[in-house]
Structure 1
Amino acid sequence: MTTPTVDVHAHVLLPEVDALVAGLPGHAQAKELDARRNGPMALAVNGPMVGARIPHLTDVTARLTAMDAQGVDIQLVSPSPSHYHPWTDEETAEKISRLANEATAAHCAHAPERLYGLGLVPLQHPKLVVPALEHALEQGLLGVEISSHAPGRELSDPAYEPLWARAEKTGALLFLHPFGCTLDERLNRWYLSNTVGQPTENAVALSHLIFSGVLDRYPGLKLIAAHGGGYLPTHIGRSDHAWRVRPDARGCGREPSSYLRQLYFDSLVHDPHTLRELVRAAGPDRVLLGSDFPFDMGTEDPLGALRAAHLSDADFHAVRGGNAAALLPKE
């Protein structure tokens, strides 16, 4: 039997979450911050871009038709990161995670043989994170999507130790996908907020997990980094050098590059040479097909992008679906 083609980076838009937060105290300020970070030109493009993609983001039939056209058999569907809402209080944050978990599960239930889902956890309230993960798993989801940080907390914060412990014990998938970049207005032109901001946030978040020893303490974590892990995998040599020569960079037990082979990375790097280097650095068994469906910063032809890297036949099929299939529930 041929291994299915699996896209691990695909999103769903949840109008229920948007309706829940609309008009709440703090929502306007959060939108203002997002506007400052992106700049007026990006916002002018974002609205029509998302609007044109609403069917693919909300309608299962439209999603499946697009998947068929791409040659994708299975998607791992995660909520749009715009649903994180890290500004919300405990009560609202708990409602958001539960609603997102239930709505994502309901979306995937329309085609359970082709759609697997991930939920959300409110990183801004660490004591709610494990219950939110448990709720996601109870809905039949495979795990949760997490941001690169929460206000005032990095992923190295000890408050998240229960999350890593529970995710490791349950085998839950964690999909690391940033939303927004704390470089703020420095990136508010030319869509630098995304083109530079997203890979920067990925690199910072993964570095916190590596250097803090989280991956030493929880070697069984199944964590997938979006956008190929950002800048880190292809610039990991600088981290290794710092670990070797500076005692203050010795928070982890071994050279940082060795931890790349404990993580998973999607293939969405937009350059065949970079994809080849990602496969070399992380290993061909640690890279998974990803498209960022259906957004414009994704790829409409994920298999074409993978073919352009000219990997060996075995590595091509591992990235195409073999690696991801091993993470999915067995029939």
Structure 2
Amino acid sequence: MTSPTVDVHAHILIPEIEALVAGLPGLAEARELDARRNGPAALAVSGPMVGERVPRLTDTAVRLAAMDKQGVDIQLISPSPSHYHYWADENTADKVYRTANEMTAAHCAAAPGRLYGLGLAPLQHPGQAVHALDHALERGLLGVEISSHAPGRELSDPAYEPFWSRAEETGAVVFLHPFGCTLDERLDRWYLSNTVGQPAENAVALSHLIFSGVLDRYPGLKLIAAHGGGYLPTHIGRSDHAWSARTDAGAGCAQPPSSYLKRIHFDSLVHDPRVLSSLIDVAGADRVLLGSDFPFDMGTEDPVGALRAARLSTTDFDAVRGGNAVALLRLARPQRGGTP
């Protein structure tokens, strides 16, 4: 039986989260930082772009119709990264992740077998991360989405060890999706905040997980990196060289950095068939999953077509299109039949 087509990078917008943080101390400062990082020209485009896509981000019927048009059988839905709100205090963070988990679960429940979801974990409060993960799993979600860092903390921070341990123990998915780039105003024009910033943040976050030994300690972790892992997979040779040439670079992980790419899953959203082919070469066809960033403008309206452009073998094409996700997420085939 042909595997369903599975998109692991799709989002939901949750107005209830923005309502509960409205007017709280810290929100205005966070938005000012976001505005400086993106620049006025980007904000002028992003606002109307998101507004036009609200129905696809909130209405299950509209989402399913768009999926049918794309030839996508199943989506793994994660909250818009704009909902992270890592500036929030513990009480607010608790409300944010609970709302995110509950609303995402409700959205997916409207289309069982076709929609699966991820919740949120507040990285700014490491002690809450395990509770947030458990809360998500209890509501039928498959794991949680996190950013590339929290204020003052990298993903290599020892405070996150209980979170990684719990994620491995439960078989939960952790979807690494950056939001914002700490290069700040250097990227405040031409949408460099996204085109350069997101791949850079992916590379930094994954490097912290690799070089610190997190992936040695939790080899069963189900980690999916958005945007094809950013710059790291195509420049992993430099990391390998540092690991072998310098004692400081090689002190934290047991194997060359490139070997850990085969322990990470990556989405296919790289916007270049040559880069996608390179990603598959270094990580393995069994480690790449179809991703579209539905429905944002930096995604693709035709994820299967973008995958086909890489001219993979039939076996690899089918694996990336859906077979790998079915195995990783332990999915059943949805009621909708047929794939492109």
**TM-score bucket of the superposed structures, by smaller chain:** over 0.9
State the match for 2:7 in structure 1: 7
Where has structure 1 moved over 2 Å in runs of 4 or more?
328-331
- In structure 1, runs of 5+ residues without a counterpart are none
Per-residue CA distance 1:235-294 (angstroms, 9 max, x = gap): 000000000000000110010000000000000000000000000010000000000000
TM-score by length of 1: 0.99
Which residues of 2 match residues 1-331 of structure 1 at below 5 A?
1-250=1-250, 251-331=252-332
- Give the Cα–Cα distance (whole angstroms) in 2 for the partners of residues 112 and 328 of structure 1: 14
- Aligned residue type for 1:200: A
The amino acid that maps onto 1:95 is: K
Q: Distance in 2 between matches of 1:26 and 1:174?
A: 27
Q: Give the Cα–Cα distance (whole angstroms) in 2 for the partners of residues 254 and 235 of structure 1.
A: 17
Structure 2 CA distance, aligned partners of 1:330 and 1:55?
26
| Paired residue secondary structure (2:224) | strand
Give how far 1:327 is off: 1.7
CA distance in 2, matches of 1:128, 1:20: 19
SS of 2:328's equivalent? Answer: coil
How many aligned positions are there? 331
CA displacement at 1:329 relative to structure 2: 3.2
Shift of 1:328: 2.2
Q: Deviations over 1:107-159 (max 9, x none)?
A: 00000110000000000000000001000000000000010000000000000
Aligned to 2:85, the other structure's residue is in SS state coil
Q: TM-score, normalised on structure 2?
A: 0.97
Separation in structure 2 between the aligned mates of residue 117 and residue 94 of structure 1, nearest angstrom? 19
- CA–CA separation in structure 1 for the residues paired with 2:218 and 2:330: 21
Deviations 1:306-331 (A, max 9, x none): 00000111000000000000022354
Give the % identical residues. 79
Measured after TM superposition, the shift of residue 223 of structure 1 is 0.2
Segments of structure 2 that go 5 or more residues without pairing to the other structure are 333-340
Query: Can you list the C-alpha shifts for 1:27-67, whole angstroms capped at 9, x where unaligned?
Result: 11111000000000000000000000000000000000000
Q: Distance in 1 between matches of 2:201 and 2:329?
A: 27
- Partner-residue secondary structure (3-state), 1:257: helix
- C-alpha separation in 2, matches of 1:291 and 1:122: 25
- State how far apart, in whole Å, the 1-side matches of 2:46 and 2:112 are: 31
Shift of 1:2: 1.4
Rounded Cα–Cα distance in structure 1 between residues aligned with 2:178 and 2:21: 20
Question: Secondary structure at the residue paired with 2:145?
Answer: strand
